[in-house]
Amino acid sequence: MSEEPNETNRTTPGLRPDEPMTEAGRKVLRFHFERMLEHEPGAHAGEDLDALHDMRVATRRQRAAFRLFAPYFKPKAIRPFGRELRTLGAHLGAVRDLDVLMEAAKAYPVELASDEADSLQPLLDLWTSQRDQARAELLTYLDGDEYAAFKESYSAFLETEGAGVQNPTADLPQTTWVRHALPGRIWDHYSAVRAYELALARASLETLHALRIAAKRLRYALEFFREVLDPSVEETIAAVVGLQDHLGQLHDADVTVGLLQDFLRRGASPPPVREAVENYLKFKQARLRTLRRSAKRPWRQVTRKRCRRLLARALAGL
């Protein structure tokens, strides 16, 4: 579900336009790996929900960075790290998504009569049980040998300049420096977002979810390199964040609707509980409709001419 983190000592990865994309990628990965490790103790202790959230975000950013920088590394060199980050992200996400579900469900009944609010408790009890199970699985993973071995080998890869670098395939110049490769990669991400223009009017929830992922990849690419781009990029980043957040709320509502329908399909709840869950379902369905209708507003901020001009300006100085 929707997310973002804190910093350690360094506030940027320390990128330069005149360095290879492989080493820029290594810096980005190391920067977010350090933040992942910073939040690991809090996520493990379970007393600070923000630590779990921040560790998950740092993990997501590393996975996004691997997608962006993969063409410049040997596939065999980075595949195990991507696979392990995916496993870690799944464990963190299983807990975090249930936290978000329960926070929203607890906030919903504030204006309800106390008896109706109490009728939602069996739903919260079910989600709490599922979260406890997901958290137990997360702790087993974090305490396991596989995760410890991953951190050791991954850290060595991140600290070794040139490790895993893709060998040139020809004598011709290769677009492997940041200032040569980055503009094309950024415009590719922007085009992937803008390609939804014709589909947006009648977009299914699946299509909107895919658009959210495309927007997230554009956002991360811009944020990874913001220190080497013109400051005008900040307005573009803000517009993309607005679109991603809106579609993230829509996705959260859609997931919640599905889970509530699953709960009702079980059919074993007493009438007061069933009625309370049905009312919560109607509330979430109405929220989903509102978010679908209003998705064009943040979309226009990303696709308007001003955003394209600012993006061009941000890249022009490389």
132 and 223 share one domain: no
Write out pLDDT tens, residues 221-252.
Answer: 999 999 999 999 999 999 999 999 999 999 99
Write out the two tokens for 167: 């060998």
Model pLDDT, residue 118: 86
Distance CA 265, CA 39 (A): 38
Indicate which CATH number applies to the domain containing 317: 1.40.20.10
182 and 317 share one domain: yes
Distance CA 55, CA 147 (A): 14
Model pLDDT, residue 5: 41
User: Is 257 inside any structural domain?
Assistant: yes
Of all residues in the chain, what percent are helix, strand and coil, respectively (each to 5)? 80, 0, 20
Work out the angle at residue 255's Cα, subtended by the Cα atoms of residues 253 and 260, and round it to the nearest 5 degrees: 90
Note whether 59 and 49 are within 8 A (CB).
no
146 and 247 share one domain: no
Average pLDDT, the chain: 93
Distance CA 113, CA 71 (A): 57
User: Is 287 inside any structural domain?
Assistant: yes
User: Is 212 inside any structural domain?
Assistant: yes
Domain that holds residue 250: 177-318
Write out pLDDT tens, residues 85-104.
Answer: 999 999 999 999 999 999 99
User: Is 49 inside any structural domain?
Assistant: yes
Write out the two tokens for 69: 């920088």
Report the domain count for the chain.
Answer: 2
